[in-house]
Amino acid sequence: MADIEAYLDDFGKVVVSVSRRYYSGKTGNFYLSDSNGEVYTCLVRGHEDRQDSVMYELSIPADLSFGISYELHEKYGKIVPLQIRYIVHTKYFDELFTYTGNDLGATYHPGYTDFVLWAPTAVSVVLCVSLRKKKTYQEMRRTDCGVYRARIAGDLKYATYTYLINRNGVIVKSADPYALSSTANGKESAVIDLDEIRKIRDLPASKVLSDPVDAVIYEANVRDLTSNPLTGTMYNGKYLSLTESDTAYADLPTGLDYLSSLGITHLQLMPVGDYATVDELNPERGYNWGYDPVSWLVPEGSYSTDPDDPYSRMRELRKMVSTLHGRGIRVVFDVVFNHVYDTEGNPLELTVPYYYYRYSDNWYRSNGSYCGNDIESRKPMTKKLFRKVISTWMELYGADGFRFDLMGILDVDTVNELYALAKSIKPDALMYGEGWNMPTALPHEDKAMIENMGKMPGIGHFNDVFRDVLKGQTSDDGKYFTGYLTGNTAMAFDACSALAGHCRHNPYFWRFDDPEKSINAIETHDNLTVWDKMHFCCKEEPRDIRQLRQKMLIACTMFAQGIPFLHAGVEFCASKEEESNSYCAGDAINRMDWERLKLNQKVYEYTKKCIALRRSEPLFRLRSAQDIEMKTRFSVNDGVIIYDLETMDHACKVIINATYEQKYYEYGDLFKIQFDEEGNAHSEFIYDVTVKPHTVVVLKKEKWDEKNHS
């Protein structure tokens, strides 16, 4: 702490912190001077004695101009810069400086490039442009709403740039928060000719998804999908690896062909926005999932073939998404809007200090994300940046939806605005996230969390109750607890609620007013894999029983109401060697294990059949909570769930036998087995069925069956 620090915290209010090292903190006779030679009287409104300092509150003129520097003088001769601080969180500041234009960033033209930066608390900004190893400096012009502008003549297609920003008494170098790309590790922002990116073939329009519950989401990491040398791709771990076809290991598909083989509708990619903790020039020396964002608009460079070429990462990401679209797979981008990695060094803080972060009523930085900072999603210019990210990922790269990390940090209004924007670009866009109730400095009623799902039509939430009921608790201290499908058949009634997507009322547990809001996952990138959890909660069971449990979990995910979600590898009993948080554990732990796929090929084949049945059977994709109330029935007998679904046209009966005993059922109606313990359909009509232990069987009856049979 310096001897004296002075902060502009409101219009007409300065707070001064004086260290007790400096005259025991006792001083006075304060006044301000500005860079134009003007002097302003400061009146001491009060002071507060603290352990290490004395805090003075000063009253000053409320109409100080922005864009010029101020210094505070005190009676012993110390002169310190006046730092613009919490005033940026006042309503009047927003009224003065919220910018509604759409030209922030660098806009390229063949004969010139416009640079536009929002930095209302800055005194001056100098633009530094680098082109062909030559640097050019130009002071930018301050305009309305605290926006700085400069126009540089010439063709800057391959130029890079930074800003030198004079604010709060220091000059800092910053990248552009609105830059579309950068050199390696975000060292410099890049001017981009978007026509060069759009030379990648147009992203094909696919058939509109009729309803969100028609989706089958598969979560994976770009690097993990092909980093295993056995994948057989040329560009292992890169965007381009997912544009390569005809790759296989042991006669089973890998990479892009593997994704196509599953029958999924959506691939959710873990963050592809620029993140901090992998050296893009030496990615093999580090590993991270990417939940440590630096720039939300810049694609991550470690997944590109040339991270120091700003165009490379953009072209290759666009080509990857286009190729996936060509295979009928939509792409969901995982975005981390709740925090940034380096609080002080991020371009957000460098350009407008204090503005983008959330604070408590006592002006402590909110830490509901447990990352040292929460983004203040309610601020107008934060929302503006979010909108730019959403529209850019969709319009430039073809994103079909978004998964929000720790969505409960964000506010309801902002999430709704972003969803409306996404739907205006693609009517079938998906948007969902982790709707946990995080301890962020936001009123309970404003958090974008599950408890407020009624305020967010169309927004999905990861259903942790679905997960914990079927699989058992997923936390480290809960890894020994079983769920219905891992041994605790006493939870059968709870499992009925889960299979209904928690959309049925009493006597069931009601949680969602629409099935599209329930994202049903037994495993995500967090915590132990299902297989590893069973090492603890089912450790006494032989491998073949645990494999049957894995299959039951996958089947129930696919046949439950709501939106099914699979994490990469669950379909072949993936293990991370019992690592419960593998975000930086390296390739050997996280990559797709193609040898394990061969070992558990039957589970993989079973998963494909589960997906195919869900996509072909409308009864597993009921469109509304009302439909679920009317068309589903559940009964429990000796630990077995009978899950009946019926419409005017046909009926399905799902028998889930999570017990150790074989079960026999006889019915008065004729059925066909639509899905047996191996996922196969039978052609013959039956009146009775035997269900083996730890298996799921689906029976189907159509109205014309009996007539046709007779």
| Cβ neighbours around 110 below 10 Å, total | 11
Q: Could you give the angle at the alpha carbon of 234 between the alpha carbons of 233 and 237, nearest 5°?
A: 70
Closest CA to 607 of 195, 259, 245: 259
Cα–Cα distance, 240 to 313 (Å, whole number): 10
> What's the Cα-to-Cα distance from 235 to each of 83, 135, 244, 273, 354, rounded to whole Å?
49, 34, 9, 19, 41
Cα–Cα distance, 616 to 610 (Å, whole number): 10
Reduced DSSP (H G I as helix, E B as strand, rest coil) percent helix, strand, coil of the chain, to 5:
30, 30, 40
The dihedrals phi and psi of 706, each to the nearest 5 degrees, come to -65, -40
Cα–Cα distance, 49 to 154 (Å, whole number): 58
Q: Where are the beta strands (DSSP E) in 288-381?
A: 293-299, 330-335
Q: Could you give the angle at the alpha carbon of 276 between the alpha carbons of 273 and 281, nearest 5°?
A: 95
| Cβ neighbours around 364 below 10 Å, total | 9
Cα–Cα distance, 576 to 589 (Å, whole number): 5
The one catalytic residue in 10, 74, 376, 405 is 405
| Cβ neighbours around 397 below 10 Å, total | 21
The one catalytic residue in 3, 9, 176, 434 is 434
Write a three-state SS string for 380-402.
Answer: HHHHHHHHHHHHHHHHCCCCCEE
Tokens representing 420 are: 């409306």
| Cβ neighbours around 541 below 10 Å, total | 17
- Annotated active-site residue 300? The verdict is no
> What's the Cα-to-Cα distance from 692 to each of 288, 563, 674, rounded to whole Å?
42, 27, 16
Tokens representing 673 are: 């087995």
- Annotated active-site residue 434? The verdict is yes
Show which residues are catalytic.
Answer: 405, 434
